[in-house]
Each structure stands twice: as C-alpha cells, then as structure tokens.
Structure 1
C-alpha cells in the first residue's frame, strides 16, 4: 500500500493499492489513516477481499468504492464512527398473473426484517428501498400463491417481472382493502377477510383474537360480552358455522367464552360471511367463520414465543425437507400458576351467580375449606407436503381443553359441594389439492371432529344430598370433493360432494333420575356455484341439495349473490339464500345450581327438536371517495324450527313449544383515513321478534337477545413502530321477563312472570384502548419483539348483561322458614388490563 496526505483527516486524499487483501485489513488501515472507527460482525466480512488501485481520493470516495466492490453498506453514526453491515438494495418489480400476464394491483409486499412494506400500483409495480440482503421479501395477494424471495436478489438497475400463480378457488376481487384496519378486507362476494398476522391493532385487543375481531363488524353482537357468543344478524351462536382448517368446530372457546380457542399466530385468514354464504357452506343457518391456517411450505426455521396475563404461547415453522414442512403451535393458561389482575377480572365475571361465588359470599372464609383449579390448553399441528408441482398434501390437527375442579366444605353447617367440568374438542383434517392444469383443480378432504363435555357435581348438607352428572358427546366424520374450473376471465364453476356422519349423545342424571338421548345422522350433499365476473361486478348463483337420514328428507338450498358497479366509486349489491341446520343446542336445567355450561348439543329428530331453516335477503350499496368508505346493508331473515328448549324462556311452564323468528335490520359502516390516522363508525338498527303459538297468548314478542341499536366508534393512529387504538361501544339493553311475584300451591312455590321479554336492561356502553410497539433486539439477527397493552372498560361502567330470578329458602330469627324471590344480575367486566410480550425469530 502506498499513501500520501494532502489535508486534515476527513479530507485527506490518499493513494491506495490492494491486491486480494481482506476487507478487515483495509478497514484497519483506514482507521489509522483517518482516525476513525468501524463496527462490524466478523462473520459478515470473513470472505470479503479487496483488489483496487486508486489515485488521490478522500475517505467518502474510498468507502463508496468498497461498498460497490464488496457488497456491504457503510453508514456513519458521526464524524468518527461507522457501521459496516450487509449491503442494502432497492427491491422492485412488476407483478403479473401467470395465466394471462395481466398486472396484479394491490398486492402486499413487505420486508421481514423491518416490517416496512409496499403495495403494487395499477401497473403491478412496487418498490422497496434499503432492503438488507438477509431479509425475506414476501409478496401476497388474495387468490394467489404467496411468493418469498431473498433480499439479496434485489436489482437496482432492472425491475423484473414476477409471475404470481392463481390459487384455484373462486377468485374474489377485493373491493375495500382496509375495511376495519390494515389486514381486514372486503371482497365482492360479501365476505370480510381478516389476516391476523398483518392486522393493525384493534381497540381492546392487546394481541389478535379472530373471534373478538369479528365482533367489531356491524351486525355481529356478543350480548354476553364473550369472544364466542356471536349473534349474527339475529342468529344465535350455535347457528354459526365455524371451520378450523376444514374441521367443523363444536367448542370454540377458552375460559367459558372469554377467549377464542384458536391461536391467531398460525392463521392465514378468516373469512366472515354475515349473509350470502356460498353453497359449499352447509348445516348452519346463520353466519360463517372459515378459519384457514398458513399453507406455505416453510423454507427456514422460524418461531415465536409470547406471554400475556392469562396464558403463554409458542409457534414453530420447521422445514423437514425441501418438500415437507411442519407448523406447530400451543397455548397454555397460566391461571393455575399465578393470579393476575386480568385473570381475576375475568373470574369475577365468569363465576358470578355460580356455586363457586355463592359459597364465597354466603359462608365465612375462616370456617370453610375450598379449592379452585382451572386451566385451558390448545395444541395445533399442520404438516405440509409438496409432493409435486401439481399435488399438495396437508394434515391439520387441533386439540383444545378446558378443565375446572372446584370443591367446598363448611364445618359448621356441614355443607359440602364439588364440581368437576371437563370440555375437550379434537379434530383432524387431511386434504389433497391437485392442479389439473392452469384453469382447473381438484380438492379432496376428509376430517374427524370429536367434542366431549363431562360434568360431575355433588351438593350435600344435613337435609339432602344431590348428585348431578352430565355428558354430551359428538363424533363427526366428514369427506368432500370439490372441483374448480376457471373458464376464461369471466366465468368460474365449482361443484362438489360432501358427506357427514354425526353421532350425538347426551345424558343427564340427577340422583336416581336419568334422561338422555343418542342419535345419529348421515347427510349427503351436492353443491354447485357459478360465478360470472366482469370489470364492473359479478353474479353468483349456487345450489345445495342435501339428504338427511334422521328425518328421511331431501332439502334444497338456493344461494345467490350479486354486486354491480354503477359508477366509478359506487356499487350496488344483493343476496338471497335458504339454509338448513340439523344440529343445535338445547337448554337443560339440571346444572342450574352450578351455573355454567347449561346447554347441550342435540340432533334434530322431527319431533321435539325440529330441523332449523332460514330464508334471508339482503340489499345495499358500497361507496368510496377520497379516503372515505361507506358500506350499507339492509337485511331480512325468517327462521323456522325454534323451540322453547333451544331458546330458553323464563316462564312458569317448561312445556314444549315450537315457533319462529323474524329479523329486520340495517348495518352501516363508515370509515375515513388520513395518512397515519383513521377512524370508523359501525351502526346497526335491528328488530328480532319471536312468535310461539303456545307462548305469550300467541302474540309475537322481542327475541331474547334483540338489540335495537348498536354503535361502535373506533380510532387508530400509528407513529413509526407505535400503534394506538381507542374504541367506544354502545348498544341498547336486551329484553328480559319481569317476575311479578310468587304463587304457592300446597307445598310448592313458583315464580309468577309478566309478559314475555317485556322488560329491557339498561343501555350498555364502555371505552376500550390498545397500544402496541414493535422493536428489534440488539445484536440479534432476524429477531424482533412486540409489546402490547390493552385496557377494557376504561371508565369502569357496571353494565348489566342479564337479569333473572330465583327462589331461596331462608330462616328468620324465630326459626321460621320462608321462601323469598331474589333478583340475580350478571354484570360485565370491570376495568381490565392486559399486557403482552412476544419474541419473533
């Protein structure tokens, strides 16, 4: 090396000459010449050598030469210190459809290292700047297979064309890209699609929850303030079809509805249909929530661990070979390890008006012994095998469990009680996807779903001993075949066959009294769906035809959906459908004293449990302009086959009665976005009425969970890696039946009730907030963290969720026993904090 000095350190002009000298040696020379310091990882520069010959150059000119020759990035912190890292490039390109070379508009492109991203424009063009070479670039768009590429493949001089391969489903156009928030979109078949892993933070959620996110949509309510108690446009929770990677779910909650049983961090997307469901969705008459797991073959080991104030979770994506990969996730409650303020608030809400809390309130703690053990757990596995360019196999498995073990004893009164509740759901689904050619594909699935609920309760004192047991079991096997044919740009046709076998058992035993039923049903369905799509809209016509062995009947369910753009920013939409359901939940009173899980699943039998049917029509419009989005839906639903057993009314009679319901309503959604800030308003006006010939003198009356008005106002703001959300929820109170007194006939005393559901609870409202911050972990490659915080019910409003009445026997000061009427109210959550920490690697 030769050198000469012509001025001060930074402006010194030097003559350099190197021949295959390690870059580390060159940097040491520069440190000595220019009195600077370089910071770098030794393994990054291990194989890099320098060969150059310069004339008189200063430090900045030398560094630019080294960057170009060795593909590193050298950035100055100040005048003396520099950081040497892997070279950052501009990653750009044009996205095209493989089948017709048309540009793909609105695809998401993001860099895994710093989570910044881009969206492809009208020409399919995108550009990411300052991309590290070790980053993974992910390109995704609804209806296409996701692309993953190394950042080092970026090209600053040439932006190549990337071909995206269609996934052979009915390709739906996204009409609103950020519906509630980023990661939530609406397509022109009426479905709302949520991607939990790309979703911005929502009010009240420190981390994503797929079922709680759905409650923010107009027309979806949870009167019980639970994650899983979803009432969709007048339908009840058991009337919703919930699919987890093709497995039909019968238990979708943890902690008695407080949390959903689905880990959001392995979910690719959840589609929510409030109406207009396609004909492949059957055996439920209300909403559809189709949850699909990630389906990309892992190319390198990735994972995450997380903790919040109720549970811990972990996920791994493992490449077993070039064609086989594994995705694993698990969650486990921390409730039996330590008490947190979050768990305590949840417990206060869940166990109020149950034997657990009544014992605590009635008896003196120093004279009692009690144990309360509760935990929940879920485990999900998915194996993927890309056996050829045209064939893909997947095997998905889910196990969820909730267990409560409670015991109580009081020495003075010789009162003893115990309650053991165990709820388990297991499912497995095998799927084979076969690509016939560029326009046609086949999909074969076979699944098994098992639901087991077991309860054993004992209540003992000096006067009596009562033993109650309850068992409810479902074993369901299903198989399906689906063929998809895309006929040019405008037409697509799907058709298939589904078979389900249900075996449902329930048994109730109170001392020597036993009641139960065991039934099975085979159903065979053919479905067809034709879609005609143009640049201005689409029309779907579908038909589902099903034979039910349990009632020996063949039923037809037509489906139709249409959306048409009548102006550049204004579209009209409408749907009509008929739906059928053969299995539903009925109310049982044997576990009333326990106070939890007092419903059981039962099959329709054409007698006291009829088949449920519904007819629904919707019409509305979608308008967007200048960052404003307005979505309006009006709907009408008529449901037949309701019974007093399935709805559960507070009356003096428990006799069987069959009825129907009618729901009319309008859902309104309005959103505006300004750069980092967005706000949206959701409003629903609806009216649900029941009509039972043998109840209320045959007159109609408000439905049990009729909510006349519901309003949600939410705000979102992002500053760099910090996200903040604030949301206010208001709704009118649900109906209840007022007790007017008691009637005694001999030794029996019963409650006398007024007009069915004539009373209304007070209006409900609360304010929720959430905060999240993403950060990189120092000196850790491809490792980042996330902190989340949420606060539910900021101003501590005590909302009444339910009101009912009961009779209690009390002894006065003179030893006389009296029967008194007592009002029971179930209150909402108090102010509830939650804190989340996640490490992603």
Structure 2
C-alpha cells in the first residue's frame, strides 16, 4: 500500500514536468512530421528556422490549413514549387501583435482579430503575424469574457510585436460587488456569493482559496467544532448543505476526517454559494447550496502548479491539447508518510480527542502497539472539448480517500488486533451543452456519486470484531433548456431523475449479530423557471417552480422559489427571497462510538416512518448599499425546517437514544460593513440567531437548537500589493448550548437503573469562542513562472476554547464524568506554490 501511495506522490510532482514538453515543439520537428504524413518535402535553410517553436496541431487537417496556422504563429512564409515541394522562408519584414491578459502573465488564444478583409484567430502563443501591413485602418479584437478592443494599424511597427492587453469584462447585471471580503470573492445581485479561486487574494488562516473554509467568513455560517465536515448554516446541520461538484452531489467534504477540505482548491473555477433564494434547478440542501464547477474557459496555453504546506503536497497540470480541447490532471497527497509536522500533530490531537483511538492509552489493560497511520489523498481528471462553436462536451472524475490504521495490544496477553477506518468517495459526471440558436440552448448532464465509510473495530481484550459500513450510490440525469425570449425575459425548463441507494451494515462476531439495511428511492422532477428584468433593469425577478415525485411513496412535493431585487438608486438595492424545499437524505448517529467515534454519522434515506421527508420554508429581506469604497449589507430572515429526526442532531443528553420527529425554526439578522482604501480592506460582520427545536412527544417540547449561536461576529484587515499579501482576522461567537446535570443528585436510580440526571435540554451554554488568525505571503514574479511563499497561523494567541461539553456515566465507579473537547491550538502552516 505504501509503495502505491509513494508512486502516486511522485506522479503528482512529475505531472507538470512530464506534461510541459507536450506544449511546444521545434518547428523543424513539426515540419518533418508533416512531411511523413502528407508526402511532401520542405526546403529551407536550417539556420533560419532552428530557434522557432510552435504549438503542435492536429496533422489530420488539410495541408493548406496546417500551413496557414503556422504562418499566423510564426514569421515564416510558404511558397509552393510544385505539388510536393514547398519552400519555407523566414520573413525579413513582418508586422505582429501579441495579446496578453490584464495580469500580463498570460498570452490569450481564441482571440478573433477582425480586419477589413478577414478574421484571424490566435492560437496558444497569443501572437498573430502579418507578412505585410494589414490593408485596413483598424483591427478589432474579440474574446469571450473580455472587453472588445480596437487598435490602429498605423501604430504597428515593422519587425516588432505590439503588445495588446485585453481586460476582463464583468456582467454588472449579475455581480453587485467585485471584492467581497477579498478579491476573487464576489457578491451577486441575488445575494448569493461567487468564489473565483484563480483571482483569490487572501483570507486570514488560509493557505489556499478553500471554499469550505471561505464559507465560514460569511455571515450566518459557522463550524462550532472547527471541522470542515460540520458546517452549520442558520442553525442547520451539515447534511442540510448541498455540495455539488460539476453537477454531481458530494457526500464527503472532508479530509483528515473533517479537519481539511476534500475539495482541491486549485481545480475549482467557479463556486456559487446560496443561503436562500436559490434556483428551482436545485433541490435538497435545506440550509445552503454550494455549487462547484471546475469547467474553465478555453486555455490560452498549458499551465502547471506545484503546491506544498506542512500537511500535504499537490500538483496540477492544465494541458491545452488544442484550441478546442483541454485536459486537467490534479492530485493531493498527505505528507504524513514522509514527515511528521507540528501542524499535523495539532490536527491529529484535535480530531481524535475523546474518541476510541485516544482512549486506548487510558485503558490500563490496553496500549497502542504501533503509531497511528493516517493518510489521505484526492485525484481529479477532467477533459473538455468543443466540437464546434455551438457544442461543448466534458467529462469529470474525482477520487477522495481517507484511511486510518492502528493496532491495539493486550498488555497482559500481548495479543494484537488491527483496526482500520476508511472513508472514500468516487464521482464521475459528463455534460453536453449545445446552442441551437442565439436564443435557445440545451444542456444534458449525467453523474454517478459513490460514498463509503467502513470501520473494522477489533478488541484485543475479548476478541470481539465489529464491522460497520455506510454506503451511498447516487445516480442522476439532468436535462435543461433555456429560451431567451428577449433581452429582458428568459424562460427555462428542465427534467431531473435521481436514484439513491443507501446501505448500512453492523456485524458483530461475539455474540453473532448481523444487521443489514438497504433502501432505494427514485425521484422524478419537473422544473420551470422565469427570469425578468423590468423598469430599465432596476427590477430583476427570478420565479421558479419544481415538482418532485417520489415513486416509493407515490407522492408529489412542490417547491416554489422567488428571488426579487429592486435598485432604488445606483447605490442602494433591496432584495426579497423565499423558497420551499424538501430533503430525503440525512446523516444520523446511532451510537456516539460508531466508527471509533471519529466519523459517527451515517447517511440514511427517508422512509416516511422513523425518518420523514424534511421540508424547508424560508423568507428573507435584504439590502445592499454600495458607494465608492463603502459596502453595507443587511438582511433579516425566518427559516423553518419540519420533520427532522432527533438522531440527526447529535444530542449527547437525555435525547441521545430517543427517536423523535420534530421541527426547528430560526429567525435572525445578518450585517456586513466593508471599507476599502488604497491597498487596505477592512470589514466587519455580525449575525444574530434565535433557533429553537420543537418535539411534541418530549417535555419540554421547545428548547434551544444544538447549533444555535445567538451572537456571531468576525472582523478582518488585509493589505495587498502585486507581491505582498497580509491578512489578520478575529472570530467570536457565543458558546453552543449544553445540557447541565443536577449537581445535587447527578445520578438517577443509582441502585436499580443508574442514569445521568439531566436538567432541561440545552438550558445552559459553554464559554464563548474567540480566535485570531493570520496569513502572509510574498510572490516572486519571473517572465515564465511565479512563486509564492507564505505562512498561515490558526489561533495566533493560542486561545483555549471549549468547542463541546457533555457528560457520560462511568458504570465501574458509578460516577458522572464531564467531557470537554478543546479547540485547535496555535497552529502554524508554511506553504509555497509555483505556477508556470
């Protein structure tokens, strides 16, 4: 196993090196290849051409087209002597333009250069050569996503390449603010948030533009126990967040069993985050939708990246196979096989505290006979191509794996037992998009998402073996058609099919107990959505309706969606959002020590008995004020989710072993103010939440939500230049609710049936959480590559925070023990990144 992992690790690092050679080849080599395939002969002076390199083209094209492509890229001309002999000459005089992106680090391909006579398209070197001065006054440059630019031909000088810089064009109808908290994070007019990792600058505590970490900087979103796999949005559980990767649902979001994002930050191209008012084309995700796309615009040239920090190393290669096709290969691998770092040790101590792994050494009859081996990796593969100007196709694949291995030994008998816990996901999706006309487009997507959590728990004391498995197979098809009725109106129709199968196994050898559960649910959905822009684009409305049919229950569920914004002035917008959604999946906890207590949640399907279909109803009013360098946002909301199961709420009190169905409701307000001046950006956000459960079959029936944070605030200051980036932020929120015990009589029925004597559920709170984080980086720029080094520090002042508190009964001594989980300690993480 370790040899395989080592090979993977080496391959990740070698990807950029092995791939780079495929980009450019010597012109002479290319001409020889054409000679062999086209049965022609080129005559040239080798000294003239030996320094020229060219992007390799598909040689199955016609010979004339190939030579035309070469003459555009290089200062050469071809003269036909006869049908098989061609003379190649280097031009003594030429005119040239070289087109760059606004950051000056990229040449741009697929730029259309229009003159009076014809239109020329640039290739990967972004350069266009003319044998003579173009016979026109101006050249007009077009590229999707960039502003149109005109240049005067008289400005061109012979034998010199004029540098032309194209600037990106932003659709101001969709984006309200560019640079929300940091560059690369944008606030949209519908109050959703978009993350563009490629443009991301800096946020405190982060080494990369990680979407799951970035989410926690937004008002109303928090992880109470600092785990990526436990993000709470407006009082919701993590399973109520819908994570989509290229259209496929993800059932695993964390590496290191929740401490690190399982999504490679370098592969995401666009991330959209919704807390309310999402499209009717989304279902599930009662608390939030996180839609991640790795689909990029056509590459101008191949790009490569190598990254490493104190936890992992990563590599990525974006290969421009042609002007229409590109391939992406990326991977990450934990460094724990190579070196132990203080960062790794701190994460390890955090995630395994108060679990069966850490409790082995506290048992006087047991010990760990070898070091705990924890590994994780992920790999991504993506291919996308354009068959023509109107049809594109892509296929995506991703693998995520976490593995924990350790051996426990009976001190008295020296008997050893191996234990392991694996968590893995495999996702494949394919998408075909076609424009039937300027106003009609079609999209079809199919995906398969597989998730497996498996634990083998072997006891060295009594030879008992417990095997546990949670497995999810999710297959789906999504069809969509968009009709642009006019510049003001757009109508969309869609159909989605989804089949989810979930299996849960618990198998014990002593005594022999075998429990196997499997459930399958098919869902058909029809979607209609209408978008309108009225009153000179001041009023924008999105109205959608989704109808879900659950075949197992022979039941329809309808989901209306509304998102409406009105620009009272150029600086001030008001937004109204409302939606209703349903969810058939949930993560529940049977026992707190399932899967060693590390990842104790397991996915289950609604059965309309013990686990009902959950329903969300939510309404929100917001405002955005933006003037000059000031931004102020504010919103109030009401959210209610019905038919939750108590097993999904992580109760560790008198409700822990009860199977109840109930509701929770949250109302609150969220605010953010931001000021940008010169190279500084200062921001502050605040969230107020009041969230309560209601379980009719329990007394008291109403009590605070486990994930309520009444007050939450965060502030940050960043300083950025083209090379130096610094960011400092502070986070505060009120302690999560906890259930106290009766201190005068902590144990009820001590003689017959001892149990903990709890007071009312969640009638107290643990101490407040405070943390200060920092990140600094410096970028070195060279003509062909850039390097970035930096340092991120979590918990800069080493503040001791309690993230959870609960009680358990020690039956051996009949005593109640108070257990506290602590936050991550002062944790530095150095990093470097090279792009070329």
Tell me how far apart the structure 1 counterparts of residues 465 and 753 of structure 2 sit (CA, whole Å). 22
- Indicate if the aligned counterparts of 1:369 and 1:410 stay in contact, CA closer than 8 A: no
How much has 1:317 moved relative to structure 2?
Answer: 1.2
Tell me how far apart the structure 1 counterparts of residues 479 and 826 of structure 2 sit (CA, whole Å). 49
Output the TM-score relative to the length of structure 1: 0.79
Partner SS state of residue 612, structure 2 = coil
Tell me how far apart the structure 2 counterparts of residues 412 and 748 of structure 1 sit (CA, whole Å). 32
Tell me how far apart the structure 2 counterparts of residues 212 and 693 of structure 1 sit (CA, whole Å). 36
Tell me how far apart the structure 2 counterparts of residues 345 and 191 of structure 1 sit (CA, whole Å). 34
Match of 2:764 in 1: 759
- Indicate if the aligned counterparts of 2:612 and 2:643 stay in contact, CA closer than 8 A: yes
Tell me how far apart the structure 2 counterparts of residues 311 and 152 of structure 1 sit (CA, whole Å). 47
- Indicate if the aligned counterparts of 2:147 and 2:168 stay in contact, CA closer than 8 A: no
- Indicate if the aligned counterparts of 1:112 and 1:135 stay in contact, CA closer than 8 A: no
Match of 1:215 in 2: 216
- Indicate if the aligned counterparts of 1:328 and 1:380 stay in contact, CA closer than 8 A: yes
- Indicate if the aligned counterparts of 1:383 and 1:396 stay in contact, CA closer than 8 A: yes
Tell me how far apart the structure 1 counterparts of residues 634 and 428 of structure 2 sit (CA, whole Å). 38
Change in CA separation of 1:709 and 1:163 when aligned onto 2, cut-off 3 Å: closer
Matches within 5 A, 1:80-91: none
Match of 1:110 in 2: 103
Which of 678, 681, 684 aligns to 1:678? It is 681
How much has 1:658 moved relative to structure 2?
Answer: 1.1
How much has 1:834 moved relative to structure 2?
Answer: 0.5
Q: Indicate whether 1:344 and 2:337 are aligned.
A: no
How much has 1:356 moved relative to structure 2?
Answer: 2.0
- Indicate if the aligned counterparts of 1:427 and 1:447 stay in contact, CA closer than 8 A: yes
Match of 1:839 in 2: 834
Match of 1:507 in 2: 505
How much has 1:726 moved relative to structure 2?
Answer: 0.2
Partner SS state of residue 212, structure 2 = helix
Match of 1:60 in 2: none
Change in CA separation of 1:161 and 1:530 when aligned onto 2, cut-off 3 Å: farther
- Indicate if the aligned counterparts of 1:91 and 1:151 stay in contact, CA closer than 8 A: no
Match of 2:247 in 1: 246
Tell me how far apart the structure 2 counterparts of residues 246 and 186 of structure 1 sit (CA, whole Å). 22
How much has 1:295 moved relative to structure 2?
Answer: 2.5
- Indicate if the aligned counterparts of 1:456 and 1:467 stay in contact, CA closer than 8 A: yes
Tell me how far apart the structure 2 counterparts of residues 110 and 163 of structure 1 sit (CA, whole Å). 9
How much has 1:647 moved relative to structure 2?
Answer: 1.6
Matches within 5 A, 1:384-463: 384-412=384-412, 418-461=418-461
Output the TM-score relative to the length of structure 2: 0.80
Partner SS state of residue 795, structure 1 = coil
Which of 794, 816, 825 aligns to 1:792? It is 794
Matches within 5 A, 1:586-601: 586-589=588-591, 591-592=593-594, 594-601=596-603
Question: Per-residue CA shift, 1:586-626, capped at 9, x if unaligned?
Answer: 11217358221111101000000000001000002111123
- Indicate if the aligned counterparts of 1:227 and 1:260 stay in contact, CA closer than 8 A: yes
Matches within 5 A, 1:540-559: 540-559=542-561
Which of 665, 676, 694 aligns to 2:697? It is 694
Change in CA separation of 1:368 and 1:505 when aligned onto 2, cut-off 3 Å: closer
610-619 or 226-235, which deviates more? 226-235
Change in CA separation of 1:822 and 1:621 when aligned onto 2, cut-off 3 Å: same
Tell me how far apart the structure 1 counterparts of residues 262 and 504 of structure 2 sit (CA, whole Å). 23
- Indicate if the aligned counterparts of 1:145 and 1:166 stay in contact, CA closer than 8 A: no
How much has 1:370 moved relative to structure 2?
Answer: 2.6
- Indicate if the aligned counterparts of 2:126 and 2:300 stay in contact, CA closer than 8 A: no
Tell me how far apart the structure 2 counterparts of residues 43 and 274 of structure 1 sit (CA, whole Å). 62
Match of 2:644 in 1: 642
- Indicate if the aligned counterparts of 1:652 and 1:750 stay in contact, CA closer than 8 A: no
How much has 1:537 moved relative to structure 2?
Answer: 3.2
Q: Indicate whether 1:660 and 2:658 are aligned.
A: no
Change in CA separation of 1:88 and 1:703 when aligned onto 2, cut-off 3 Å: farther
How much has 1:250 moved relative to structure 2?
Answer: 0.4
Question: Per-residue CA shift, 1:70-124, capped at 9, x if unaligned?
Answer: 9xxxxxxxxxxxxxxxx999979xxxxxxxxxxxxxxx94322699xxxxxxxxx
Aligned residue pairs: how many? 707
Matches within 5 A, 1:520-535: 520-534=520-534, 535=537
- Indicate if the aligned counterparts of 1:172 and 1:189 stay in contact, CA closer than 8 A: no
How much has 1:136 moved relative to structure 2?
Answer: 9.2
Partner SS state of residue 285, structure 1 = coil
How much has 1:290 moved relative to structure 2?
Answer: 0.2
Tell me how far apart the structure 1 counterparts of residues 722 and 260 of structure 2 sit (CA, whole Å). 30
Q: Indicate whether 1:266 and 2:267 are aligned.
A: yes
Tell me how far apart the structure 2 counterparts of residues 413 and 736 of structure 1 sit (CA, whole Å). 41
Change in CA separation of 1:45 and 1:821 when aligned onto 2, cut-off 3 Å: same
Tell me how far apart the structure 2 counterparts of residues 362 and 163 of structure 1 sit (CA, whole Å). 65
Tell me how far apart the structure 2 counterparts of residues 565 and 482 of structure 1 sit (CA, whole Å). 30
- Indicate if the aligned counterparts of 1:532 and 1:539 stay in contact, CA closer than 8 A: yes
Matches within 5 A, 1:714-733: 714-733=716-735
Q: Indicate whether 1:614 and 2:620 are aligned.
A: no
- Indicate if the aligned counterparts of 1:91 and 1:155 stay in contact, CA closer than 8 A: no
How much has 1:556 moved relative to structure 2?
Answer: 0.4
How much has 1:161 moved relative to structure 2?
Answer: 12
Change in CA separation of 1:525 and 1:396 when aligned onto 2, cut-off 3 Å: same
How much has 1:550 moved relative to structure 2?
Answer: 2.5
- Indicate if the aligned counterparts of 2:98 and 2:126 stay in contact, CA closer than 8 A: no
Partner SS state of residue 386, structure 1 = strand
Tell me how far apart the structure 1 counterparts of residues 527 and 299 of structure 2 sit (CA, whole Å). 34
Match of 2:14 in 1: none
- Indicate if the aligned counterparts of 1:111 and 1:135 stay in contact, CA closer than 8 A: no
- Indicate if the aligned counterparts of 1:136 and 1:149 stay in contact, CA closer than 8 A: no
- Indicate if the aligned counterparts of 1:615 and 1:638 stay in contact, CA closer than 8 A: yes
Give the number of the structure whose alpha-carbon radius of gyration is greater.
1
Question: Per-residue CA shift, 1:158-189, capped at 9, x if unaligned?
Answer: 9999899999xxx9521111111111111112
Give me the CA root mean square deviation: 3.2
Question: Per-residue CA shift, 1:254-297, capped at 9, x if unaligned?
Answer: 00111111111121110000111110001231100000103323
Match of 1:325 in 2: 326
Tell me how far apart the structure 1 counterparts of residues 823 and 196 of structure 2 sit (CA, whole Å). 29
How much has 1:742 moved relative to structure 2?
Answer: 1.7
Structure 2: runs of 5+ lacking an equivalent:
1-46, 53-74, 76-94, 109-123, 129-142, 157-161
Tell me how far apart the structure 2 counterparts of residues 271 and 289 of structure 1 sit (CA, whole Å). 6
465-474 or 346-355, which deviates more? 465-474
Change in CA separation of 1:607 and 1:776 when aligned onto 2, cut-off 3 Å: same
- Indicate if the aligned counterparts of 2:454 and 2:595 stay in contact, CA closer than 8 A: no
- Indicate if the aligned counterparts of 1:495 and 1:528 stay in contact, CA closer than 8 A: yes
Tell me how far apart the structure 2 counterparts of residues 180 and 386 of structure 1 sit (CA, whole Å). 35
Partner SS state of residue 183, structure 1 = strand
How much has 1:693 moved relative to structure 2?
Answer: 1.3
Match of 1:183 in 2: 184
